[in-house]
Structure 1
Amino acid sequence: MTEADVVYSDVKFTKSKEKATVTSSPNESTYAEVKILKTEPSAGSQQQAAGGSKVTAERVAVVVLSALLLAAVIALGYICYEYHQTTGHLQKLTVENAAMRKNITETRCEVIMVQKPCPQPPADTCHKCQEGWEQNGPQCYYFSTVKLTWEQARERCRRDGADLVKIESEDEQSFLMQTLRDKMTEPEDKFWIGLTDSVTEGTWLWTDGTPLNKSLTFWRKGEPDNWTEVNNTQYVDGEDCVRMGEKCESGLKWWFDEPCTAPHKCICEKSAEIDA
């Protein structure tokens, strides 16, 4: 122990007057030296305090991380909700757009009929589809509910002066998609379209002989895959014809290659009749 740790104090003691044998002056005093040690916290106490601070800091960190994780989960849930809401709204707008276009076409036809006769037919002549056919612009579509092979389906369309549908735009694919959703009864309830590579494998042609525009295709992910066995049935020629339809999913990627001899419904297409 160093001198810096010691505090000195002078304490004055007065001699007792009861002892008559000792002669002393009343003012005579005796001094004693008393040492008082300064107290300091022990090393163990310091370590305990430091340990307590560390535990408290760890608890605070856990609480903060838990709060951040909860906030992230809530944010992710909100984003998913907004995505589904936006997708549903987009589908609704697509349906409303198709209905509005159909209504405009019918209204235009009525106006033209009222204005007859006219010396020269207007450039935008009114197009009409026969009963049972769906109209989209100048084209008419028939959705057959009879399941046939691809060749049989094509013959079915030809009897009505049509052919299996040829899809040439995103607008046309969207129209067919929205219409098929109401006509499909199950996921595998798909429809033949007029696309095949039966002449040369990998070279896709429409029924009129024109090649498929590779910048305008609507293949499902992983398609075409040209399987030679489907549902334990062997197909020597693979999958050379195309069907479309997807009841429970959004988007336009609805094309699947399929063996041409498989039975499916079909979509026929022909130009609308012109009202002169």
Structure 2
Amino acid sequence: MLLLRMILFLCMITTLGCSQDWDFFQQMPDSILWKASSITDVLYTQASNNLAKCALLCKINPYCKAFYFYQETCYGLSSITADSSTNALVKVFVKQPVNECHGDGFVYYNGICLMMSTILLTWYDAKDYCERRNSNLLVLDTEKKHEDMVDFFDLYYPGEYDQFFVGATDAENEGQWKWIISNSSSYFKFTGSQPNNMDQQHSGYPANCATFSTSRLIDEYCHQTKKFICEM
């Protein structure tokens, strides 16, 4: 406790140490929709009038995964689920490896650096959009990565049923699906009867681009506009 107080005191009188603490955190984008929950996984609370102190407290606590600052109190979270009674009022900061996932609008989750778009683009324009931000459309070429995205949607986007373009297409050879990253595996987890080269909203046009929604990977018409997911 004495050591912690000394560290906090040093943090108050110099900006150098505190600025380094922010390398460990990523602010959750405003587009995130918190899951409503009656359970708040608060690891600790600490009175404070300084956001940098909150960052330091979470940084040195190995069980702290995220924190937020509300009414002069630091809330350290053991899971990335904020109190549903205050989540509309606070900015939540998630712990991440140093120097990982610092792109604007990106968020770190289980080793993946993601950006969920709030704009609508065609698959081709979305691909260019991600590449201009030193990223690419999301590739789900392992079962773990697919399931991690299912969990991500469940945690951050409950009730979100929009389809998001991801980085797979069979436009070059019908039925031969490939991820856009050349060293990706051939793993695909399409849902049900997918892919079926049909888009219900665009009958008569080929469905050559993949979209992801909650747990579903399906094929859709590439030239319609949709949200999309970039990964860094």
TM-score bracket, shorter-length normalisation: 0.5 to 0.7
1:183 aligns with 2:151: no
CA distance in 1, matches of 2:201, 2:159: 20
Alignment of 1:39-78 (within 5 A): none
Alignment of 1:153-192 (within 5 A): 153-181=126-154, 182-183=156-157, 187=161, 189-192=162-165
Q: Is the 1:149–1:263 contact (alpha carbons within 8 Å) kept by the matching residues of 2? A: yes
Q: Is the 1:203–1:211 contact (alpha carbons within 8 Å) kept by the matching residues of 2? A: no
Whichever residue aligns with residue 234 of structure 1, its letter is G
Counterpart of 2:197 in 1: which secondary structure?
coil
Q: 1:242 aligns with which of 206, 210, 230?
A: 210
Shift of 1:264: 1.1
5+ residue gaps, structure 2:
1-36, 42-57, 63-96
Q: 2:189 aligns with which of 218, 230, 233?
A: 218
Shift of 1:145: 1.5
CA distance in 1, matches of 2:130, 2:194: 26
Whichever residue aligns with residue 204 of structure 2, its letter is Q
Give a deviation string over 1:79-125, Cα, whole Å, max 9, x none: xxxxxxxxxxxxx9xxx9xxxxxxxxx85899xxxxxxxxxxxxxx7
Q: Is the 2:165–2:228 contact (alpha carbons within 8 Å) kept by the matching residues of 1? A: yes
5+ residue gaps, structure 1:
1-91, 97-105, 111-124, 247-251, 271-276
Larger radius of gyration: 1
Q: Which residue of 2 aligns with 1:257?
A: 219
The two structures, once aligned, show a CA RMSD in angstroms of: 2.9
CA distance in 2, matches of 1:261, 1:128: 33
**1:151 and 1:234, CA in 2 relative to 1: closer, same or farther beyond 3 A?**
same
Q: Which residue of 1 aligns with 2:100?
A: 128
How many pairs align?
Answer: 141
Shift of 1:178: 2.6
TM-score after normalising by structure 1: 0.45
Identify, as 1 or 2, the structure richer in helix. 1
Shift of 1:184: 6.6
Q: Is the 1:226–1:257 contact (alpha carbons within 8 Å) kept by the matching residues of 2? A: yes
CA distance in 1, matches of 2:60, 2:208: 41
1:266 aligns with 2:222: no
Whichever residue aligns with residue 183 of structure 1, its letter is Y
Whichever residue aligns with residue 195 of structure 2, its letter is P
Shift of 1:219: 0.8
**1:183 and 1:201, CA in 2 relative to 1: closer, same or farther beyond 3 A?**
same
Shift of 1:211: 6.3
Identity across matched positions, percent: 24
TM-score after normalising by structure 2: 0.52
CA distance in 1, matches of 2:128, 2:60: 34
